[in-house]
Amino acid sequence: MFRVWDISLMMCFSVSLMFVGVEGMSELPPPRNLTFTWETPFTLNLKWEKPKNLDPGCKVNYTVEVRHSQDCPVKAEQDNQRDSQTRRVQNTTCKFNISNENGLCISVTVNPEICGIKDPSPSLNISIPPPTVTLVKDRSYEYFNNTLKCTWSPVEVVQDLGFYYWSPHKNTVIKCNDMKIGQCVIHDTFPKYTTNMFYLFNGTYKGKPVNNTFMDKPPTQYVKINKPQLTIQRDQQNLLFQTNSYLEFGPQCYRYNYTYSMCDKIAPGKVIENKEYQVDYDSNCKYKARVQIIFYDNCGEGQSDLSDEVEYGENRDPNLPALLAVIIIPFIVSCCLIVSLVLLRRHKDIIFPKIPEPTLIFKDMFINNIRIPEDLRHQSPTDGRLYVPIEEIVESKISLELETPLIPTTTNVAGI
């Protein structure tokens, strides 16, 4: 009997603990009367009231989320978190620097700090619709040396279209005076130090004023670098590529993308930190190189155009000297031989003059016309040998005729 009573008491105690636990883990009540006002075209001021029936000893804080969409689900999906701004505050007011391009969804949630075991409250949501008219589209930016060039395309024709930008540092809206159709140039030093840029387009459409506000990335995300110049110099057995260009930021913000080819073969590109890049030199190859400057990720985004192509050296066959020696040397020798033969034939009388023909006496001596006298026939031939000249043939009958003088005739004398 006592055991049944003990068991009943234990069951009642457990059930009471469960009810107390459930009551302690209930949700906090939501905030009340959430309202908004635009202090500037880019400053959103939010206000709300504390939850009703909140325990005086309960200390809470508030999570405020503003998303760039007028749709307000209870829980924001993960892919939408990048398009939102979230803050946790102690007071019942909060300000955001934001634009209303696609509408806004504002959510406020109560979070327990010292309030027992409580869950956060349901969120209190309000939505702000986007402007009814969009004045411009296709916005683009280009930053260089404290100059931000903004371009756009008009959607609706507005005669009094104005373009403004907002400086969070100065907390003022500044009108762009250097404005043309579809373009405006901002000359200021602050853009490269800001985190976000805010732009305002306003004008009158069908008799009603229209404001379009936009928030974009900082100008350092749109850096445009001047087209660099590339030079190539030979350094002993290497080629040195050097880049020349104006750089506004520190050297740590730039990278250099070198692309080149040798012997008409493209080599792998190389991205380095230095302005100079060295490669091995082959005297038989022609080198072609270009360079592009990249604004490094840690500082922002942007790049330059590719430099003009620079060439160095000429393509040559490494076996060409031996080939030329095999072809040219025999050709030169042949030409010299032909020229020598032609000159020898043309000037043979000078090079090899004719020797006069010897007289009969010398000719007879040369043929050893030596005779032995009759008295010495019986002696040894070597005892005495006489030279016997050849008898010359002389004409035996020679007659002389007297030369008769020229005597004039009678007829000729009479004529004289």
Amino acid sitting at position 125:
N
Look at residue 369 in the predicted model and tell me its pLDDT: 52
Look at residue 330 in the predicted model and tell me its pLDDT: 81
Look at residue 377 in the predicted model and tell me its pLDDT: 53
Half-sphere exposure of 44 (CA within 13 A, CB side): 22
Measured CA to CA, the distance from residue 213 to residue 43 in angstroms comes to 11
What structural domains and CATH numbers belong to the chain? 24-128 (2.60.40.10), 136-222 (2.60.40.10)
Look at the chain and count its residues: 416
Measured CA to CA, the distance from residue 341 to residue 347 in angstroms comes to 10
Low-confidence ranges of the chain (pLDDT < 50): 1-9, 12-24, 74, 76-80, 409-416
Measured CA to CA, the distance from residue 319 to residue 156 in angstroms comes to 70
User: What are the tens digits of pLDDT across the range 31-55?
Assistant: 999 999 998 889 999 999 999 888 8
Look at residue 391 in the predicted model and tell me its pLDDT: 58
Kindly list the distances between the CA atom of residue 164 and the CA atoms of 179, 182, 200, 257, in Å, as whole numbers in the listed order. Answer: 10, 13, 5, 37
Would you call 86 helix, strand, or coil by DSSP?
strand
- Contact in structure between 232 and 289 (CB atoms under 8 Å): yes
Look at residue 70 in the predicted model and tell me its pLDDT: 86
Look at residue 372 in the predicted model and tell me its pLDDT: 53
Kindly list the distances between the CA atom of residue 168 and the CA atoms of 51, 174, 187, 301, in Å, as whole numbers in the listed order. Answer: 33, 11, 16, 22
Beta bridge partners of 215: 198
- Contact in structure between 163 and 184 (CB atoms under 8 Å): yes
Amino acid sitting at position 319:
N
User: What are the tens digits of pLDDT across the range 322-371?
Assistant: 566 667 788 788 888 888 888 777 776 677 676 665 555 555 555 555 55
Q: Nearest 5°: CA angle at 155, between 152 and 157? A: 105
R_g over Cα of the chain: 59
